[in-house]
Amino acid sequence: MSDLRLWRLDELCPSCAARAGLRCQTFRYSDKPSRILHNARGWRHRPCPTCKAQPGEICRTPTGRQASRPHTARLHRGRHELFSDDQVWEELERWKAPTAFVRFSGGGGSRGSIGAVTLEDSEKRMLARWGVGEGELPEALAVPIWARYALFRGRPRITGLVMWDLQERQVLVGGERGDRKFEEVLVQKPLARAHLAPLTVPDDAQ
């Protein structure tokens, strides 16, 4: 699988109508950014169960013309796509990895890029280490970065580390934004989440 942002961010979102390159929104045409990227954004990467279009192809009408929008069946997550937080937690459990880290940087005129993705055991020993595009789990672990910063357009230079905390079921990000340190929650603990729907994170007002 290629760089995830190419197929999640380089097209508009059929669910919330967020434009290409921009974060998803909490609902259609709202301007409240969402902490997630809608599954619909991956449609072009999947085959279409309705018209049998292959990954990369546009959907077709029964008469063979290009459809104006992808078929609904294509907007849902594929069976083998590791994408929702729940599945990522399950996968970390399988690895017996209570923590996972994703290094990233972006902004200040450049698009975001992911550095190393690592899993650690409870003794902080490294269990696995991946680079960009080296598997579905590392890509899924990087999703909160794309959901939060999209392509880093108009942002100051940000370098940081995302931490997945299996025990707390929480995802944190910390690092430096411009010349200031920052830390924030990207995915809240399930208990907190229940009280805070729809969940949004603040934009980077400097």
Q: How far apart (Å, rounded) are the C-alpha atoms in residues 170 and 186?
A: 8
Cβ atoms of 111 and 151 within 8 Å: the answer is: yes
Kindly tell me which of 24 and 88 has the beta carbon lying closer to Zn ion. Answer: 24
Under the rule (CB under 5 A), what is the footprint of Zn ion?
Answer: 13, 15-16, 18, 24, 38, 48, 50-51, 53, 59, 71
Q: Which is nearer to Zn ion, 62 or 154 (CB)?
A: 62
Minimum CB–partner distance for residue 28 and Zn ion (Å)? 9
Distances in whole angstroms, Cα of residue 110 to Cα of each of 115, 119, 156, 159, 161: 14, 27, 10, 12, 17
Cβ-Cβ contacts under 8 Å for 155 (sequence gap 6 or more): 106, 107, 108, 149, 177, 204
We find the least distance from the C-beta atom of residue 151 to Zn ion, in angstroms, to be 15
| Beta carbon nearer to Zn ion, 50 or 159 | 50
d(CA 61, CA 38): 24
Q: How far is the CB of 72 from Zn ion (least distance, A)?
A: 9
> For Zn ion, which is the closer residue by CB, 4 or 53?
53
Q: Whole-number minimum distance, CB 46 to Zn ion, in Å?
A: 10
